[in-house]
Structures are given as C-alpha cells and as structure tokens.
Structure 1
C-alpha cells in the first residue's frame, strides 16, 4: 500500500468513529485519576475536543489549554466548546508553547502513539507542570488487540491486507508507558488497565462505523469491491451477526512532578 500514515480529515468524522469509545475510556480514566477541581490543565493532542469536554464535565477545571497539530480538528473542538474554560491552539507535543511550571495537570488522551518522540513529549509535559502536579495519559493497547476495531484489523490481516496503525503503537504498551514516565523523573508512577465495551445492535452498524476509521478506510478504499466483501465476511465471522458486544482495552498512567 502506498498510504503510510493516518489522515484525520475533520473532527466530525472522528466523533462518529471514536466519540463514544473516547467517552467510555475517558470516564473510567478520570474515575481512577480522582483529580481535584479548580485546577489548570493542559490537554496535549486534544484532537476534536472530546477529551477537553470530558475534563470540563468531570473535573470542573479553572482553565484548559488544549493543543493539536490539526486545524480541522481544532475547528470542530471550538464549535462544540460552550463553557469558555478552554483555549484551543495549534501545537505539537514535543514543543509546548508555555513556560515552566504553568499547569497543575497534564493529559495526553489516546494520542501518545501518534507522537514522533514520546520521550520528548513526556519531558515537555513535566516541564510545564508545577511541582506536585500530575502528568497523565491513556492509550489503546493496539498491539495487544485492545483497539475497538480489532475485529476488522484481524479480518484484514487474514486477507494479507495490512491496516494502517499509528506511527508508534508500542507506546500504548503498559511497560513502555511506565518506562517513559520513570525516565522523565516522575514520582509515584501508577498504571491501570481499563476495560470498556459497547453493544452494537447489528454487525452492519459496527462495520459502517469501524470502516470510517482512517487507518482502515484509507486501505479499504484502495481495494476492489470483491476484496472488501471478503474482509467484511471475515470480520462478521469474528464478531457474530448481532447484537454484538465489542470489548476494548486501554492502558493508563499517572505520575507526580518532583522537580
């Protein structure tokens, strides 16, 4: 395949594909984090604002600086934001445009496997969070089969078709996350595996949403109708006809800034 990287075109399509899944895992993460209200947050790689709005609803932040490299995603995030607590701007994880010790909390939600240099990104979060603050993240366990659309990935692989994965899917591994946080000098590092699930009334609904995922759709769009039909049959054999329960798994981590 000539396509090598995922292409997130707009926030609306991401919401259709990942919105409810993002809410499921994000709520479980915030239950575990038990963050206090009234804090100043940075949401690194905020995408279409799903994680930002979850923070607004769940932890009553004083302020959020939300950054993402995609202008299209940020447009969607600004349109959905109503409380005025968050500011959205273009930015990259390895060069945060803020001074040292500027935030109480840092979050990287479902994004660390997209970051070119995860070590640099974690170091940057540590830099901008003040002493005693928290640096946190959660990510799908992609290599361990925890991605919500793993059934379609498996069906593609069975047909010798390779789905496009994030550039660094290994960053979602629990041991890798723990190593990153420890290397950055964070104290009291703790991890958690988060299990979530959704029920789809029919396989057709799961297939329609799953095949809108960039790493899947970009590949399927290059195949013949016959090849796509074959992958669809294999995926349905994996999930069943419906209603179907799809399980997913994410890894979460938190650490305290000690500098």
Structure 2
C-alpha cells in the first residue's frame, strides 16, 4: 500500500479532523453563491463536500493524483454539482475558476510555488490551509516528539522539520513568491478528541500519511517502544479520554 491510497484509512487518521477545519475555512472565504470551484488535492473529498454543503456553488471539480482517493470521493460525494478527476497539481485544468483552493496538500506538492502560480492563473481567489506541524497539530506533535526521544537518528522524519513552511510566515512567503501582492492569513484551531489510547493509536497503523508510513517501516520492537513513549506523553484522562487540539494556518489572496 502506498503512502496515500486508501480513503477509509485516511479518514480515520486525519480526514475527519480536516472536515472540521474545512468548515471554518470555507466560511472565512465568504464566496458568493453560484461560483465555480477547483479543489486541488481533493483527497477523500473533505473540502469539496464542505463547499457543496455551505457555499452553494455552481460546480466543484476535485482533482487528486491518487486514484484511490478519487474513487473514494466519487463514492461518498454524490452531489451532481461535484466531479472528480485524477490529476496532479502540475496538470491543473484551464478553468477559469472563481475559487481555486487546496486543503492540507501544499506540503505534498514538490513544486508548490509553481502550483500556486498556476492556481493564480486560473482562479480569481486562491486559498489554502495546512497543518501547523511544528507546533499546533497535537496528535502528530506527540508522535514525533516521542520519535525523537526513542530514535533521535530519525529526527529528519519529523513533519515539523520537513514542512517548516507550514506557518503564517511560511505561507505568506510562498504566496508572495508566487506573485500575490496581498495575502490574508488566519489561524484555525479545532478539537480532536479520542475515546481511548487505542482510538488515538489505531489510525497510525494504517500506513496512510507520513507518520503512519514511518511507523510501518520500523521493526516490531521499535514500534512498541515508540507506542509506549507516545502513551506516556499524552494527556490521558481518568476515563481514558484524550482531548487534543489541531491547529491549521490558512491563506487567501485575490489574483
């Protein structure tokens, strides 16, 4: 299984939390009804479905390089205004679109400045959101802080280091480099609550995403050591509940 292929596993890991951020993100964009939207890196359809539910669009085209994600989105997002295509960010359609958006995908696009420039060419409003990997995305932060303790030699795997631009300052710089003169930024924080440690840990075993793929590549003893290191750090309440927060940064600009 590749790092990004199963929609069901992705949903249990981070997709469900993305949907909470998407609702605040779309409301913040405050686009008129009847717009044409492009959802770049649509994944399982979290952002697309939010646009359909809350923004009354004329149409939404979701594109993603993962055929598995596109298949999942087609099955679960049945609104006739939505369509999905297997495309990478380097193969975006001509448009034009009233809004070109991307949720939780910019850090996985190798040529992200070029992608933003292309979104600027075809979209009147361009907007993105990314997790704050270095600070506010707590469910991942606990994992990588424990990883650094258990296997300091793997420090470079930390998403906070790999995706250091996923901050307000980093996004502003990317938008500026892509040709935008004015960028609006916003912090979005949502709750991520788990019923138990197993509820928290099970999605990491699915191999979908950077941390789960890293975990899967470890030997059994290292996996167990990391599991216990994470458990010892988490704020587990008396009834087993774990209440964390997930912070994302959003940026928008008019082309």
**Superposition TM-score, scaled by structure 1 size:** 0.88
**Residue 59 in structure 1 maps to residue 55 in structure 2:** yes
- Quote the offset at 1:165 in angstroms: 4.0
Q: Deviations over 1:107-127 (max 9, x none)?
A: 010000001111100100010
Give the counterpart of 1:148 among 127, 132, 139: 139
Residue 44 of structure 1 contacts residue 106 of structure 1 at CA under 8 Å; is this kept in 2?
yes
Q: Deviations over 1:53-88 (max 9, x none)?
A: 111111111011111111111011111121111121
Unaligned runs of 5+ in 1: 1-5
Query: 2:222: which partner in 1?
Result: 227
Aligned ranges for residues 67-86 of structure 1 at < 5 Å?
A: 67-86=63-82
Distance 1:229 1:168 in 2: 24
Residue 95 of structure 1 contacts residue 124 of structure 1 at CA under 8 Å; is this kept in 2?
no
Q: Deviations over 1:35-68 (max 9, x none)?
A: 2221000101111211111111111110111111
**Residue 200 in structure 1 maps to residue 200 in structure 2:** no
Distance 1:84 1:185, change over 3 A: same
- Quote the offset at 1:231 in angstroms: 1.2
Unaligned runs of 5+ in 2: none
Give the counterpart of 1:248 among 246, 249, 253: 246
Query: 2:29: which partner in 1?
Result: 33
Between 1:57-66 and 1:196-205, the stretch displaced more is 196-205
- Quote the offset at 1:166 in angstroms: 9.5
- Quote the offset at 1:94 in angstroms: 2.8
Q: Deviations over 1:92-136 (max 9, x none)?
A: 21331215xx1100101000000111110010001012xxx2100
Distance 1:61 1:169, change over 3 A: same
- Quote the offset at 1:192 in angstroms: 0.7
Residue 140 of structure 1 contacts residue 147 of structure 1 at CA under 8 Å; is this kept in 2?
no
Distance 2:192 2:52 in 1: 24
Q: Deviations over 1:162-185 (max 9, x none)?
A: 347499513322212112222333
**Residue 128 in structure 1 maps to residue 119 in structure 2:** no
Instruction: Name the structure with the higher helix share.
Output: 2
Give the aligned length.
247
Distance 2:66 2:111 in 1: 18
Give the counterpart of 2:166 among 164, 167, 172: 172
Query: SS at the partner of 1:7?
Result: coil
Query: SS at the partner of 2:165?
Result: helix
**Superposition TM-score, scaled by structure 2 size:** 0.89
Aligned residues: CA RMSD: 2.1
Distance 1:172 1:95, change over 3 A: same
Query: SS at the partner of 1:61?
Result: coil
Query: SS at the partner of 2:93?
Result: coil
